[in-house]
Amino acid sequence: MKPAAPLLLLLPALVLVPLAVLLPPLVHGGGWELIGSFALAAVTPSLDPVVLASLLRGVAVTAGMALLGWAGSLVLGLLLGAASSRTVWRTLTGSTLPAELIRRLLALPRAIHELIWGLLLLQLVGLQPAVAVLAIALPFGALVARVLSDLLDALPTAGLEALRAAGAPAPAALLTAMGPALLPGVLSYGGYRLECALRSATLLGVFGLGGLGTDLKLSLQSLEFHELWSGLWLLLAVMLALEGGISLLRRRWLVPGRFVLARRGVGERSREMLLTLAALLPLCVLVGRGLGVDPAALLQWQPLPGLGGGDWAATAALPWPRLVGGTLLLTALAASLAVGLAPLLLVVVAPVGWARQGLRLLWALGRLWPPPLTALLLLFVLEPGVITAALALGFHNLGVLGRLLLESADVADPAAEEALACGGSGPRLALLYGRFSALARPYLAYGAYRADVILRESVVVGLVGATGLGSQLLESLSSFAWDQLLALVAVYALLTLVGEDLSDRARHRWLRAA
Amino acid sequence: MAAGPPTAVLALRGIRVSGRDRPRLEDVDLSLAPGERVALLGASGAGKSTLLAVANGLLAPVAGTVLWEGQAPARSRRGRRRQQARIGTLWQDLRLIEELTVQQNLNAARLARWGWPRALLNLLLPLDTEACAAALRAMDLDPALLEQPVTALSGGQRQRVAMARLLRQEPTLLLADEPLASLDPRLAGELLALLLAQAVAPRALLLSLHRPDLLDGFDRAVGLKDGRVLFDGPVAQVNAALLADLYGGTPPGETP
């Protein structure tokens, strides 16, 4: 009794059953009016020129931080990616040992969420625009490095060996043989990371690092929903323009989509790609000046508290099993919600033509709207806790997964679905059997990767309280308990690394079975 | 009221489908009585595929009427689905669902008649094994194939599974768009014979064909040229002059 592909796709949605039982007791019903006026404000955003001007400044700061953080992560990722590639070290020195070593070291910055980086840096060097930039650049750089070195090491080396045999020096041979083959993959992944960077920059703002996120949080806390929605619609326009632009370039350059579930395209117009990359440099300099980023100020560190005097007994006395358990439960709930709801909703609305567009908009809002703000909004009507946090995190990731599934379904072969519909199966079953069959395994493989991201991300909803490691971490941070903080970050990193390994295995299994 | 002739399985009257430069179909009349086996002839671009798309409801004509078993296309979604369930199409690219087993593919033809519980259960358990095995046997296939994924089948087996799925749907109108185009002559003859054997009243078969040498088992032939019906009559009347006219000089059998 092995469930077939389309059924597998719907299984994660079974998480709705326990949720339906657990959710009603959490409703305290205090703030339905607030939720109502929040929803109404969506169609009546504030058009006050003063508000709009301030929000526009916020959007510009957020976009600027995202751009710089992203550019920094690309530079960092290219250097570190080359430094952790087995092929590069084998060509240069004959040994792959340094590559293995650097690869392991890079796991640490990658395992720590940009929010934790941001808050730590904030303590270290004080509030300045460069903090958010660096907080994005460091973990993203380590992620880019990993993807790049994996891409690099998966390339066939015959061309490289031929050049070396013909006497070309190692660096020139590497660049010539590997560069062009690598470019499409790097650009595709880079484009995806720019979208992530915009979301991260907004999120960092919610935690006080500047830009639109800060405005959004203040508007929410002071219940200025009309201003809140003006900000959201602005951000939505920026995000959709960015996503549209990136997918336009992908199509123009025939670069494969980062996670399009049906792979195609090899890369074309490489000169145009390189020119676009080169044009980013002056742009980044200009944006850096506009934001007032001062690299020198990063070197003036606040005095660090001595770790020797830490209260390790109190740290050990933290309820670790409950913290870890809460974090894992939160991750599992949010991941199942996000992975399971996207196909379920698409199937449910299949007969209604315009409903797809509605879902598209809802998912765009989910991607854009930082999870901690969703959590704050949910607190108007729900008790704090793991489930409330999972709903917020799940909604955000539903936006990411839903978009991926919808875009993949749009480019997938319609023939089987058409044949079923022609034989009289309703639109829902035709979609499930005819189109989702082929997408199920790659989608679930991506879901496994996403679960790993969600685990890392679970810290951002810590502010609703009682969610495990995340809320404890934010609490320890605000009370400057450095010893606890260190232990919490270490445990978080460890969990993420284990999670990464598990999700890698799951992904390979899904894809091999496909 | 006197018993008239039996209701046509498919009746097309004055069908027109517009195209970019000229109509893809113009003033086409075609009627299939129960038990009739009709071959559709014509060069590529003559409108055979368009005509089949109108016949299976995929394409709505800009003018003319379509009647399935005497009924115009239903307005309600449910009624329309019930009509579509009685139209079986054998697609040139087969359109099997590659991720599923043979049995699940055969049962997919029942989705129009099944509710959600059975549709989902079909993805978990083997359902209606006896009926599926019978459909395979009718196509000279070993029922042991039921549990196989369709990706494990040979080209000829896939063709037969697609035909078995058609049977499993239990349609009254059988449509096929050049189903034999990519097969070697011996296999093409075998499969055509199996298909013709299934087209007994109350069923009717309309099959587009590019090889006039396979016309033997059909009752009638309809020749299309430039979107119009050039010929509609018994197979015996199809002769070399007519074929030359239909295929515009290119020898039949070489048109793709």
Q: What does the pLDDT look like over A88-119, one tens digit per residue?
A: 888 788 788 888 888 888 888 888 889 988 98
Residue whose entry in the numeric block shows the structure tokens 């991607």: A367
Q: Is the dihedral of CA B103, B104, B108, B114 positive or negative?
A: positive
Instruction: In whole angstroms, give the CA distance from residue A498 to residue A494.
Output: 6
Whether A152 is covered by a domain: the verdict is no
On whether residue A318 sits in a domain, the answer given is: yes
Per the DSSP assignment, residues forming a β-bridge with B49 are none
A4 vs B99: CB contact, 8 Å cut-off? yes
Distance CA A61, CA A221 (A): 21
Looking at residues A497-503, what average pLDDT do you find? 84
- Look at B109 and A423 and tell me if their CB atoms are within 8 Å: yes
B84 to chain A: nearest residue by CA?
A424
Regarding whether B166 and B144 lie in a shared domain, the answer is: yes
Q: Would you give the distance in Å from CA A151 to the centre of its chain?
A: 20
**Which of B81, B84, B97 is the best mutation test for A, with the most CBs of A within 10 A?**
B97
**B111/A423 Cβ within 8 A:** yes
Residues A259-310 pLDDT 10s: 555 444 455 566 777 787 788 888 888 887 888 777 777 777 776 665 556 6
Q: What percent of chain A lies above the pLDDT cut of 90?
A: 19
Instruction: Give me the total of CB pairs closer than 8 Å, taking one residue from chain A and one from chain B.
Output: 87
Report the Cα–Cα distance between both ends of chain B, in Å, rounded: 49
Question: How many residues does the structure list for chain B?
Answer: 256
Q: Tokens at residue B251, please? A: 């020898």
- Asked if pLDDT for residue A342 goes beyond 90, the answer is yes
Q: Which of A99, A36, A1, A11 is nearest to A441 (CA)?
A: A11
Q: Phi/psi at A298 (nearest 5 deg)?
A: -70, -20
A447 CB-contact burial (10 Å; exposed 0-12 / middle 13-18 / buried 19+) = buried
Residue B91 lies in a domain: no
Specify the pLDDT at position B3.
Answer: 59
- At residue A350, does pLDDT exceed 70? yes
Range of the domain at A465: 1-30+310-514
Question: B161 with B205, same domain?
Answer: no
Residue of A nearest to B87 (CA): A423
Interface contact flag, B108 A420, Cβ < 8 Å: yes
| Tokens encoding A117 | 């980086």
Dihedrals φ, ψ of B174, to 5°? -105, 125
Mean pLDDT of A414-438: 90
What is the value of ipTM here, to two decimals?
A: 0.89
Question: Does some domain include residue A72?
Answer: no
Respond yes or no on whether the N-terminal peptide bond of residue B202 is cis (omega within 30° of 0): yes
Q: How far apart are CA B95 and CA B75, in angstroms?
A: 27
The percent of residues above 70 in pLDDT, for chain A, comes to 94
The answer to whether position A355 is within a domain reads yes
Inter-chain CB proximity B123 and A6 less than 8 Å: yes
Are residues B119 and B140 located together in one domain of the fold?
Answer: yes
Q: Write out A341-370 in H/E/C secondary structure.
A: HHHHHHHHHCCCCCHHHHHHHHHHHHHHCC
CA distance B57 to B173: 12
Out of B84, B96, B97, closest to residue A423 by CB = B84
Chain A residues whose CB is inside 8 A of the B147 CB are none
Residue A100 lies in a domain: no
The reply to whether B108 and B59 lie within a common domain is: no
Q: Which of B170, B187, B205 is the last residue of a domain?
A: B170
Token match 């494969």: residue? A256
φ, ψ for residue B63 (rounded to 5)? -145, 155
State how far residue B129 is from chain A, nearest Cα, in angstroms.
15
Are the C-beta atoms of A184 and A255 separated by less than 8 Å?
A: yes
Cβ distance A424 to B108 less than 8 Å, yes or no, reads no
CATH of the domain at B241: 3.40.50.300
How open is the CA angle A46-A52-A58, to the nearest 5 degrees? 125
Lowest mean pLDDT among A179-188, A415-424, A462-471: A179-188
**Angstroms from B123 CA to nearest CA on chain A:** 5
DSSP letter, residue A156: -
Query: What distances in angstroms separate CA B246 from CA A95, A309, B18, B38, B242, one per listed residue?
Result: 72, 97, 21, 16, 6
- Shared domain check, B161 and B133: yes
State how far the Cα of A67 lies from the Cα of A75, in Å rounded to an integer: 12
With a cut of 60, say whether residue A508 has pLDDT above it: yes
| pLDDT band at residue B250 using 50, 70 and 90 as cut-offs | low
Report the run of H or E that residue B173 belongs to, with start and end: strand B173-177
Cα B90 → chain centroid: 5
Instruction: Confirm whether A404 is domain-assigned.
Output: yes
Is the confidence at residue A391, as pLDDT, over 90? yes
Interface test with A, best of B76, B105, B123 (most A CBs within 10 A): B123
**Percentage of chain B exceeding pLDDT 70:** 95
Query: What are the residues facing B231 on neighbouring strands?
Result: B223
DSSP states of B84-133 as a string? HHTEEEE-TT----TTSBHHHHHHHTTTTTS-HHHHHHTTTS--SHHHHH
| Domain finish residue from B108, B135, B170 | B170
Q: Are residues B82 and B180 in the same domain?
A: yes
The answer on pLDDT for A237 being more than 60 is yes
Q: Name residue, tokens 């070993």.
A: B142
Which range has the worst mean pLDDT, A75-89, B39-53, B78-92? A75-89
What are the C-alpha distances in Å from A338 to residues A228, A391, A406, A471?
A: 25, 9, 14, 21
For residue B49, pLDDT beyond 80 = yes
Do residues A292 and A275 lie in contact, with contact meaning Cβ atoms separated by under 8 Å? Answer: no
Q: DSSP assignment, residue A208?
A: I
3-state secondary structure of A139: helix
What is d(CA A408, CA A359) in angstroms, rounded to the nearest whole number?
Answer: 15
Indicate whether B183 and B162 sit together in one domain.
no
Residue B99, min C-alpha distance to chain A (Å): 6
Q: How many domains does chain B have?
A: 2
Q: Which domain holds residue B144?
A: 96-170
Same structural domain for residues B191 and B82? yes
Q: Are residues B80 and B198 in the same domain?
A: yes
Same-domain status, B197 and B151: no
Give residue A269's pLDDT.
65
Backbone angles phi, psi at B255, to 5 degrees: -75, 140
Question: pLDDT: is A70 or A99 the higher one?
Answer: A70
Q: What number of helices (H) and strands (E) belong to chain A?
A: 23, 0
Two structure tokens written together for A280: 């980013």
The type of residue at B54 is V
Could you say which of B170, B186, B201 is where a domain stops? Answer: B170
Pick from B97, B120, B171: which is nearest to A416 by CB? B97
Contacts of B235 (CB under 8 A, 6+ apart): B39, B215, B216, B218, B219, B220, B221
Burial of B192 (0-12, 13-18, 19+ CB in 10 A): buried
Long-range CB pairs of A43-50, under 8 A, 24+ apart, other chains included = A44/A226, A44/A229, A45/A226, A45/A227, A45/A229, A45/A230, A45/A232, A45/A233, A46/A224, A46/A226, A46/A227, A46/A229, A46/A230, A47/A230, A48/A227
Using a CB-CB distance cutoff of 8 angstroms, which residues of chain A are in contact with residue B101? 4
The alpha-carbon gap from A347 to the nearest alpha carbon of chain B, in Å, equals: 12
- pLDDT tens figures, B135-170: 999 999 999 999 999 999 998 899 999 999 999 999
> Does residue A437 carry a pLDDT above 60?
yes
Q: Pull the structure tokens for residue A273.
A: 């790609």
Q: Write the pLDDT tens digit of every residue in A3-21.
A: 888 898 999 999 999 998 8
Q: How many domains are there within chain A? A: 1
Same domain, B239 and B194: yes
Task: Looking at the complex, report in whole angstroms how far the Cα of residue B254 sits from the nearest Cα belonging to chain A.
Answer: 27
In a domain, B78, yes or no: yes
Average pLDDT, chain A: 85
What CATH number is attached to the domain comprising A346? 1.10.3720.10
Q: Is residue A250 part of a domain?
A: no
> Using CA atoms, how far apart are residues B173 and B139, in angstroms rounded to an integer?
18
Residue B86 neighbours by CB distance under 10 Å:
19
Query: What's the pLDDT score for residue A377?
Result: 87
Which pLDDT does position A260 carry in this prediction? 52
Continuous segment of H or E residues that includes residue B135: helix B129-138
Bridging pattern class, strands B173-177 and B10-17: unpaired
* Residues B180, B76 share a domain: yes
Q: Which residues on chain A place their C-beta less than 8 Å from a C-beta of chain B? A: 1, 3-7, 10, 351, 415-416, 418-426, 429-430, 432-434, 437-438, 440-441
B64 pLDDT higher than 90: yes
Per-residue pLDDT tens over the stretch A317-327: 888 899 999 99
CA-based nearest distance A4→chain B, Å: 5
Mutate to test the interface with B, among A348, A352, A433, A435 (most CBs of B within 10 A): A433
d(CA B67, CA A394) in angstroms, rounded, equals: 50
Record: contact A422-B57, CB cut-off 8 A: yes
Chain B: nearest CA to A68, how far in angstroms? Answer: 44
| Angle of CA points A88, A89, A94, to nearest 5° | 125
Q: How many residues does chain A have?
A: 514
Examine residue B147 and state whether it is found in any structural domain, yes or no. Answer: yes
What is the maximal distance between C-alpha atoms in chain A?
76
- Amino acid making up residue A89: W
A 10 A CB-CB count for A280 gives 14
* DSSP calls for A176-200: HHHHHHHHHHHHHHHHHHHHHHHHH
Which residues of chain B make contact with A419, given a CB cutoff of 8 A?
Answer: 89, 91, 95
The answer to whether residue A439 is domain-embedded is: yes
Task: Give the single-character DSSP code of A210.
Answer: S
